[in-house]
Structure 1
């Protein structure tokens, strides 16, 4: 099985200022034409920048041409009620966007780490109880966990969890009880990262929107040092090849030229002026 993962799309309601929609459209075209077509697409949160209905509607329109099943997870920029109003087919359990998909001898479990009003992750006792019960249903099924926030320190200080965050320990306790969990995939950090966590492999994919700059120095919130925070790198995605021996993750960049300027209403005057030029003598 080949799974494509994209994350942190940050689609905006304001079409005039939404460059992220164009970046996502570029990724969708890439997914539709690569010779190794995915069997499934996972979008691991921050689908929108603003959580507005118009943003989710634009997202739905952009991803419509993708001809494989799509699994959706929420991130800190998403809003559950608004998201579900546009994607009502998405499953919820206990009021959270969390669900399991059975794939024969394998299973994918999508978690909800959204705490509305906060950029940080969350995984309360209710969500932990649901995950524990869900994993207990099929202890023999090799399982992939999907979530938005990485529950581990990544080295990008201003995007990292707090080392004492209770939610990460709560999640780790459930995962350690479930030997069938073989891999976790996340987003949020806008960088490709691979690490070991709770005795499992955890991979983080980059964003289809602009990336977070790679700077592994400690950061002091009280001492601005002019470091780069967000950079205009190419849109990224991950490919997860799930075989009989495990999951191999490949990080990819969508490197075809992207259109910077289109002939739209904003540029109509420029085209009119250029096409009215008369030949010189």
Structure 2
């Protein structure tokens, strides 16, 4: 059985700094400690973007801090970026070889009959700090990678593609319909997993399962009522644990920082 982990929204900052009052570096250290203690049997881990809190403003040190953290991980780690990241800065630290032929941080991982595809949904520039896109070159690349694999496929990217019908849809993957049409060219898309929204959701859109996870940063209340306020919450800090075989692809949500009391 395939087992892989997804972490998102690390929002790492410079040493001795916090983000919204949270020590995101310490939280990420807790995530790695949790993986090493409880998920060392995983085939790999994926980091799904927003690695740095203000990477898009030129921060470099958070990527160096992340590299040191990743080096502690007991399982192989694969990375793509989110809207808070800068592609060139990330690659200057982690290596230009991570840039795919698309020009973006896209990647294919083949394991145990599955193909897991990482997509970089970042549009650089002040007008797209929050929303995402996949270029036509990326969509063509994705279609080609799907066509060459007959087995089950999971896709991981930062931005959510399916409408969640809450305020965060203002910063959705902007060409998500084109993305969905490319996915539909394959007969066995098992999951599309995203971060970005800071809460957990599961849905079926265009006949394809879509999932979001809360991530390493603050969690949020989900404003299901019109005009409802969105509150930032301390936690939980969460990773997705994906289990896959021929018959099933299952996503668990494992809270590695949890504020609930354990009942005796």
TM-score band (shorter)?
0.7 to 0.9
Residue 250 of structure 1 and its aligned partner are, at CA, apart by: 0.7
Matched, 1:120 2:131: yes
Answer yes or no: is the 8 Å Cα contact 2:8–2:49 preserved in 1: yes
Q: State the match for 1:135 in structure 2.
A: 146
Q: Which has the larger radius of gyration?
A: 1
Residue 245 of structure 1 and its aligned partner are, at CA, apart by: 1.1
Q: State the match for 2:63 in structure 1.
A: 56
Pick the aligned partner of 1:25 from 14, 23, 29. Answer: 29
Cα distance in 1 between the residues matched to 2:39 and 2:144: 39
Change in CA separation of 1:166 and 1:53 when aligned onto 2, cut-off 3 Å: closer
What is the root-mean-square deviation of aligned Cα atoms in Å? 2.0
- Give per-residue Cα distances to partners, 1:173-198, cap 9 Å, x unaligned: 10111113221111000111111122
Aligned residues: 248
Matched, 1:81 2:88: yes
Residue 242 of structure 1 and its aligned partner are, at CA, apart by: 0.9
Q: State the match for 2:47 in structure 1.
A: 43
Q: State the match for 1:197 in structure 2.
A: 205
Answer yes or no: is the 8 Å Cα contact 2:24–2:217 preserved in 1: yes
TM-score, structure 2 as length reference: 0.87
Pick the aligned partner of 2:100 from 92, 96, 116. Answer: 92
Q: State the match for 1:244 in structure 2.
A: 246
Answer yes or no: is the 8 Å Cα contact 1:151–1:161 preserved in 2: no
Change in CA separation of 1:207 and 1:41 when aligned onto 2, cut-off 3 Å: same
TM-score, structure 1 as length reference: 0.82
**Equivalent residues in 2 for 1:171-186, closer than 5 Å:** 171-186=179-194
- Give per-residue Cα distances to partners, 1:137-165, cap 9 Å, x unaligned: 22x121111111111112331x11479x7
Secondary structure, aligned partner of 1:22 = helix
Question: Structure 2 stretches of 5 or more lacking a match?
Answer: 260-264
Change in CA separation of 1:141 and 1:28 when aligned onto 2, cut-off 3 Å: same
Secondary structure, aligned partner of 2:31 = helix
Cα distance in 1 between the residues matched to 2:174 and 2:122: 14
Question: Structure 1 stretches of 5 or more lacking a match?
Answer: 220-224, 258-281
Pick the aligned partner of 1:144 from 147, 154, 158. Answer: 154
